[in-house]
Amino acid sequence: MNFNPQISNLPIYEAGKPIELVIREFGIEPQNVVKLASNENPLGCSPLVLEAMKESIKSANLYPDDSYYELKESLANLYNVNSKNIVIGSGSDQVIEFIMHAKLNPNTAMLSAGVTFAMYEIYAKHIGAKIYKTKSSQHSLDEIKELYNAHKKEIKVVFLCLPNNPLGECLDASDVYEFISSIDSDTLVVIDGAYMEFAKFKDSRKTINPSDIIKLSNSIYLGTFSKAYGLGGMRVGYGIANEQIITAISKLRAPFNITTPSLAAAIAAVKDQDFIVKTLQNNFKEMSIYEQFAKDNDIEFIPSYTNFITFIFDNSKDSTQICDKLLRQGIILRNLRSYGLNAIRITIGTNEQNIKVLEALKKEI
Ligand SMILES: *Cc1c(COP(=O)(O)O)cnc(C)c1O
């Protein structure tokens, strides 16, 4: 059977390896597995969320409220925007997919940093759109602008991952706002704020406010419950933009695209901001242990505004070998070879997990 040509060349997203794999392949006890590969919250999620989910499954027979009224109201309140400025996705991944379908076709292009979230490229390829990436792996607004100016007519979507996964760097908000104002009104600038809670906590100059984004005619902010809120398994994300953009991309949303427990979880999660503060405090306290380790062992790292840190190795070391060796000991980290880098991305865990990782790493480098 023949399939659309863009399908045959499509790369497959390499997800973080699941705990089950390590248990099956290496016979490691589940409680001894340390999974710090997918930027999940090591503290779990808020206890209020677990309560709300338990309650919600009693109405498993009913479809959820498809308007997502209560969740949109909470997010509107949190970000000081209107419910009409919000679209809900099954993870912000799904909102990225909506955006691609709304703006791209095979005669158009998307633009991003050299090394950034792989799903941008994959969704663009679903559509057969062209992809431009900067030579620099990290975000350089000068390079992004240069590429944009050279291919202005084609480029309909520009992605800024702020802060950037998998490298961890983050642009200053003032530079981002200036950049958006230099982009044509028919090109959508997507601010992927999957880790914005972390960046904002570390340095207020990185804060992008959705309430500023909604005033612009060519930008959308994306947020997720998968990272700081600790709800990766529940698949809830959102887009915030001016009403015209939200109305258009909402047409691509199938009804009931998140489940009843997911909806209950997200609503409860917004209410427990103390849990977020705890998460952020643990994250940056523990991150400093990794930074010190890197300095002590001459490993290059990128100062991170996220819940992970990326170690970049020189040619004397091989990230694939190191990851494989750690995997056999039940430690799952993210090798960045598939991004063309001799580097490893480590999600910041609990103190106990981090000590285990660094002890194992010390032996293998
Ligand atoms: C995790 C992540 C997302 C989205 O995750 P969902 O679980 O689909 O909400 C989006 N962008 C980046 C950069 C991410 O790291």
CATH number of the domain that residue 312 is part of: 3.90.1150.10
Q: What three-state secondary structure class fits 41?
A: coil
In the chain, what percentage of residues exceed pLDDT 90?
91
**Nearest partner of 84 among 248, 232, 219, 258, judged by Cα:** 248
Residue 123 backbone phi and psi in degrees, to 5: -65, -35
Full-model pTM: 0.96
Task: State the sign of the Cα–Cα–Cα–Cα dihedral 19, 25, 26, 27.
Answer: positive
| Ligand 1 within 6 A of CB of 37 | no
- 57 lies in which domain range? 47-271
Query: What would the mean pLDDT of 188-206 be, rounded to a whole number?
Result: 98
Q: Are residues 135 and 279 in the same domain?
A: no
pLDDT single digits (tens) 159-168: 999 999 999 9
Residues 278 and 266 placed together within one structural domain of the fold: no
Q: Are residues 17 and 73 in the same domain?
A: no
Cα(297) to centroid(ligand 1), Å: 31
For residue 97 and ligand 1, the question of a CB distance below 6 A is answered with: no
| pLDDT of amino acid 92 | 98
In short, whether 198's Cβ falls inside 6 Å of ligand 1 is no
364: CA distance to ligand 1 center in Å? 30
Helices (H), 217-336: 243-250, 260-271, 273-296, 319-328
148 lies in the same domain as 97: yes
Q: Which residue has the tokens 């909806």?
A: 263
Mean pLDDT of 278-306: 98
Q: What is the CATH number of the domain that holds 243?
A: 3.40.640.10
Could you tell me the distance, in angstroms and rounded to a whole number, from the CA of residue 316 to the centre of ligand 1? 32
pLDDT in tens, 61-73: 999 999 999 999 9
